[in-house]
Amino acid sequence: MKYKKISLPFDENFISSIQNNTKPTIIVSIFGKSSLVSKSCKARFVNDFYDRPIFNSSLVEATSNSKLQSSIECFYDEPGGIVYLHLTGTFDSHSITQNIDELSSEIEEKGFLRVWSSLKYNYACSLLFLFNVSHILVLTNPVPVFDTSYLSYFKALDCSRSKFLNAIKSTLSKIPNVSTSWMENTRLCSPRLLFYYETCPNEFKKTKQTNAPCHPGLKKAEHSLEDQIYCILRKRRIISNISTHSIFAIPANQEYVFMDDSPDQVLDWDEFLTNSLINLCNSSSVEIKDRFIDCEVKEDIEKDFLNKSHNIKKFLFDHIDVAFKKGFDDNIGRHAITIPNYFEAPAFGTWCLVANEMYNLFVLANNLDEESKIAMETLRSVLDIDTNFSERRCRKVQPIAMAAYQENLPSHYNRNYHDTKVAQALSVFAQHARGPLLDDYIQILVQDCDKLWQSGRQMCETLSLTGNPCTQPLHKGGTVDGPIKEPEQDDNHINRDELLIMEHSSSVMYLSACNCGHKQGTREDPFTIRTANYDFYQIMANDCVCGCLDRINFPVFQPSTQDYRAAQLFAKPPVIAGRKNSAGLLHTPTQMGHTQVLSLGGVFTSCHSVDPINEILGEASRNREVPDRQGLTSVELTNMQKNEDIISGNQIVIRVTDTDGDTKDKSLVRQPSTTEYLPGMLHTESPNSLLPQFPSWSLVCLGSSCLYSHNIGLQETQHPGFLNSTAYLLPWDVTVRLEHHPRDRYWNSDKNKINSSPIQRGRKTKGSREFSVKIFIGVEYECPRGHRFMCSAPDKILTTAGNGIVKENGNKVSNSDMPLYFPCPCSSAPLIAQLMRIHVVTPKAPVHVTLNPMVQPEENGGPIFVTGFDAPIELTQSTYWVLRLPYVYAGDRGPYLPPKDPSQIGQGKLLKGVYSVAEATTDNNKLNI
């Protein structure tokens, strides 16, 4: 006779290889837990039945099953008509140890309860298959203790099986040779459950393998354990008097608990294999063929095997014999006789077809209908108690957490406030929620909070040019030149067509003075450069005298067509693009003690031979020195050459020559565009041919120089907002030296004024004239509260003595880089003040004071913002001028936000070289009224 082992599902070759497919068959299924040394084998007693390692691993191959998921092996005893099913996997110690790395990584990713729940569910599906295709079920355990963890499996199988009845009937109806009774009852019988324990208490265990009777106390222990198991199953209502109503049955008049009292097995696997090989070689009843798994036994099993007083073979075959002879009838009670019992021993071929279909239904879960899917979910929910508890608990706590989020909510709020409220809700949720679904419900809670926030409560949050977010509800419309922050959109997509149209507003108000500083007014936080640097001051000019004052207009875009547009700017090189004032107008005045010695020229400054551009931009700009200088006039170029050639002590001598006509023509080649305008502010990295639509600077003339009295300072009525003792300008004494005789009538007509002026007394030297002029300058800072003050040095606020006398002069201001931001000394919470105005009172002399302001708002390089003039701005004599600087500096990459921390005030600066002196000519800048 032949013995074959195969894994489910069966293939057609295996079924066709059976000689007698119509022979009645009894199915015995073995499941449970195994020890580590058993290597996932729970059917060792079956190996003993046939004296072959049927369910053990091969002698030369690896372990037969090391998978963590459940699998079912099948061995068919064709002569005896018995099918053994062996379930391995989840609860076998060897399988868990072999897959510990995979299991650990999965637990780390999903959590222990989730992974364990999945393993239990897969194991329960395999059990559901065994309970529907078997006659006898053997539950094994390494130690003689009833494992109560199986109670939850039995209860789950009993609850879910009733929901599979229609699916089972439908499946059986499609298989040929399935009896009507089988289809109606949906299973072969109510299977018997037997309990096999691999060991017994030590006092009952045999010391060696003999045929001697078992210990007298062993039977009592088995019967005692039977009573305990029966009581537990009855109280849990897993079994009942009518076996057909239960998932399985307990035999009424037969033993169903067996404790193996055999001596301890050899724990060393190598020793076991060696002994097995020796026994195999000494055996004469085995003929070895090609495969060890297929062997042919010539002799019968020893005759006295079943006569032993206590062995598993006799214990199991007593139940198998009953199944073959009359079937099982395990009903008890007064209704046991009236209720018929169903039992069927199917043909092996038919059973194989049914087993395949049931395996696909329960284990593989292929092509499930809706009813079967519901049944599977029922099995999962009944089995997974932890998940059910977690779900109920989380559902109960979630409304409480949402109420914590909704408490005291404003009409609309920003992302930071939303995140704070979400964190508060999560804190409440985490205090009460438990279980494996905690993370899932946290995600649901966050999504619900986001949905509530995005359904009409979301704030716009578009940043202004000063860094404040828009506080309006989420809306469309509104122009902005700063960084645009798109609204948060997760799974809840916002319909922007339903949003209101409104302008941006941060609800932040500032107090600022007008162009001339005579009037203060409140201003909204700007979102566009035009609003910040132009529109506000135009509105203030309508209510102030500065709208009627003389002014110098800055270069702006002049369109020549109706369809003009903003230029498309691309990435700029990290060096200055070659504007005239960026290369030729950065100068450092030479210090001469408390005065400065200047020589007059067409465009005049004094500087050392070191190029200031290179000091600011580094080596990269030096490579562009030649093309930059090609755009200068001959006077400028000659002056630069002389600066490099003639240095006498601390004085610089400049020879003045007339401007070459050809050079003037070259300077007129670059004309600004009349069809495209610069979309931002003008700086040294801007294209040469583009101008902005509006000026960000303002230069107005308040009137005659007599408006300022150095003894009184700036009056509060004319210049409101100044802090005490800071409303004064600094005197700046400049010594002017003329190297040649006056070349025009202007010098001749004013010759007597220079000699007779008490302030501008000069002395004649051979071939030159030298005289001194006094200029008053002031660097005004303004904070968001409207506080204004002057600085006398880059790190010092101007202060006066007790009698109101200013002891400081303007040398430090004129010869140093002035910080763009400075801490305001106001008594309340200090704010950061910004450099906003430059005050200049020009002398009554035949010279022009010139201004060439350049602002670099970024500490580590970056663009330098300029006025747009190709030459320094010449101011008229004996007048009071106020230069208003931009309120916001915005480059091609966005605005430069003012610092929030007073320690960062050094990040921007007004470059030195702002003030200079030029000779008075007849072609000066004209005032625009």
CB contact at 8 A, 385 and 149: no
The CA-CA-CA angle for residues 463, 466, 469, to 5°, reads 30
Helix axes 112-133, 100-110, angle to 10 degrees: 120
CB contact at 8 A, 840 and 875: yes
Distance of CA 197 to the CA centre of its chain: 55
Over residues 826-872, the pLDDT tens digits come to 877 778 999 999 999 999 888 889 999 999 998 877 899 999 998 99
Nearest-angstrom CA–CA distance, 756 and 761? 7
Q: For the residues 662-689, what does the mean pLDDT come to?
A: 74
More confident: 603 or 925 = 925
Give the sign of the dihedral formed by CA 890, CA 894, CA 899, CA 904. Answer: negative
Mean pLDDT of the chain: 79
Q: Which of 32-41, 489-498, 713-722 has the highest mean pLDDT?
A: 713-722
SS (H, E, C) 752-780: HHHHHCCCCCEEEECCEEEEEEEEEEEEE
pTM assigned to the model: 0.62
pLDDT of residue 85: 93
pLDDT band at 318 (very low <50, low <70, confident <90, very high): very high
Any residues with CB less than 8 A from the CB of 16 and at least 6 apart, and which?
none
Backbone angles phi, psi at 817, to 5 degrees: -75, 120
pLDDT band at 8 (very low <50, low <70, confident <90, very high): confident
More confident: 753 or 160 = 160
pLDDT of residue 768: 56
Q: Is the model's pLDDT at 569 over the cut of 60?
A: yes
More confident: 659 or 854 = 854
Backbone angles phi, psi at 314, to 5 degrees: -65, -40
Nearest-angstrom CA–CA distance, 52 and 583? 99
| The two three-digit tokens of residue 579, written as one number | 């504007």
| The two three-digit tokens of residue 507, written as one number | 């609800």
Q: For the residues 711-725, what does the mean pLDDT come to?
A: 91
pLDDT band at 55 (very low <50, low <70, confident <90, very high): confident
The CA-CA-CA angle for residues 773, 777, 779, to 5°, reads 165
Of the chain, the percentage scoring pLDDT greater than 70 comes to: 76
Domains and CATH numbers, the chain: 3-382 (3.40.50), 384-454 (no CATH)
Q: Which amino acid is at 799?
A: T
Q: Is the model's pLDDT at 414 over the cut of 80?
A: yes
pLDDT of residue 435: 86
For residue 319, the 8-state DSSP code is: H
Of the chain, the percentage scoring pLDDT greater than 90 comes to: 39
Q: Which of 613, 818, 675, 812 is nearest to 730 (CA)?
A: 812
Where does 478-595 show beta strands of DSSP type E? Answer: 509-513, 520-524, 550-551, 565-566
Q: Is the model's pLDDT at 149 over the cut of 70?
A: yes
Q: Is the model's pLDDT at 622 over the cut of 80?
A: no
pLDDT band at 17 (very low <50, low <70, confident <90, very high): confident
| The two three-digit tokens of residue 223, written as one number | 């019967």
